[in-house]
Amino acid sequence: MKVKGGRKIYGVPLGILMLDADFPRVPGDMGNAATWPFPVQYRVVKGASPDRVVRKEAHGLLPAFIEAAKELEANGVGAITTNCGFLVLFQDQLAAALSVPVVTSALLQARQIQSLLPSGRRVGILTISSETLTGRHLAAADVPDGVPVVGVASGCELQRVILGNEQELDVAEAESDMVRAARRLTEDHPDVGAILLECTNMPPYAAAVRRATGLPVYSIVALMKWLVDSIE
């Protein structure tokens, strides 16, 4: 048997491009390594604060993300993702710069989820910031027209801690923020048949959202587990 070298690190299938942030990463968050059933490799992109990425369209940060992604690829990861769904604006550029699969955002699942639903039902999106999740983001992810988008309440625990990069999070209150947003989504749009979590910090609350709504909930964590299973 012959084997080839060229990788600096072996046995790490997933590389994650991380925002430059210090807020808590609870179990289930993709920034918590214990979330994953396989090894992951992280790269923090300096200057990529949550506020800059979510509220300012990550302006000027593309070169830094490409550089960090290439470092992960050189180290031998089999796929690369990011820890902010708003980075879908960089999907095409990152994919063109690399030779491994790239998934910048959970939003890339929207069209596939829609295709799975019964006639008359549609996917709905929960986001960390409905004010700044624009048509550009949705178009970059090829989200079907008319998909409803609801954000967590402005200034709530979850949004304040993440976008403000605070170092203490009330997990129970953050879960309540998510449940309230999910109920608002389904009450305002009763034809929603599945919920897609835009934010990579939302998966810890997916089970609570399922219990509250009775609907399937999709996230970046579930997507990346599927992707890694397909390449390993």
C-alpha distance from residue 205 to each of 121, 139, 141, 209 (Å): 23, 26, 23, 6
How far apart, in whole angstroms, are the C-alpha atoms of residue 17 and residue 12? 14
Q: What percent of the chain has pLDDT over 90?
A: 94
| Candidates 3.40.50.2000, 1.20.1250.20, 3.40.50.720, 3.40.50.1860; CATH matching 106-219 | 3.40.50.1860
**Average pLDDT over every residue of 109-121:** 96
8-18 mean pLDDT: 84
65: its two tokens: 């993300």
Give residue-wise pLDDT tens across range 205-231: 999 999 999 999 999 999 999 999 988
pLDDT of residue 232: 73
Q: Is residue 23 classed as helix, strand or coil in its secondary structure? A: coil
Q: What is the pTM of this model?
A: 0.93
Structural fold of domain 14-105+222-231:
Rossmann fold (3.40.50)
Q: What is the pLDDT of residue 4?
A: 54
Tell me the domain boundaries of the chain.
14-105+222-231, 106-219
Query: Taking 70 as the threshold, does the pLDDT of residue 166 lie above it?
Result: yes
